[in-house]
Amino acid sequence: MKYISSVPIYLQVVNSIKEKIITGELSPGDKLPSGRELALQYTINPNTAARVYQTLEQEQVCFTRRGLGTFVTEDGERIRLLREEMAGTLVRQFLEGMKRLGITENDVMEMIRQAND
């Protein structure tokens, strides 16, 4: 994976896993790799990998079963919310960019329609 070196690595990995859950690459209840495996998979520090799971758990995207490992949440509602959260973030970033270019909301709407045709 390519990283943006000025953004915390753990956040980038967290987002990458969230994307995999949303796109269905990871299904609800799937077992996630161990911290060490995750570190190797993403070439990150195992301490960072631990922090990734910590964050995912806090956000209730994942849960840990003692001695068994970390799993993707089985809560469908949480995954739906996750999709909305990430979509919302993307839209906000997109709109901010447009605002910087001085494009009004109506023009943006028009441009999206045109691009879709």
The residues with which 98 forms a beta bridge, in sequence order, are none
Other Cβ atoms within 10 Å of 78 Cβ, number:
16
Q: Is 3 in the site for another protein (CB under 8 A)?
A: yes
Query: By CB under 8 A, what part of segment 35-94 binds another protein?
Result: 36, 39-40, 42-48, 51
The span from the CA of 94 to the CA of 67, in Å, is: 42
Minimal distance, residue 104 CB to another protein, in Å: 29
Minimal distance, residue 93 CB to another protein, in Å: 15
Query: By CB under 8 A, what part of segment 6-35 binds another protein?
Result: 6-10
Both tokens assigned to 26: 């990871």
Q: Evaluate whether 41 touches 59 at the Cβ level (below 8 Å).
A: no
The span from the CA of 101 to the CA of 77, in Å, is: 36
Minimal distance, residue 12 CB to another protein, in Å: 9
Q: Which is nearer to another protein, 18 or 51 (CB)?
A: 51
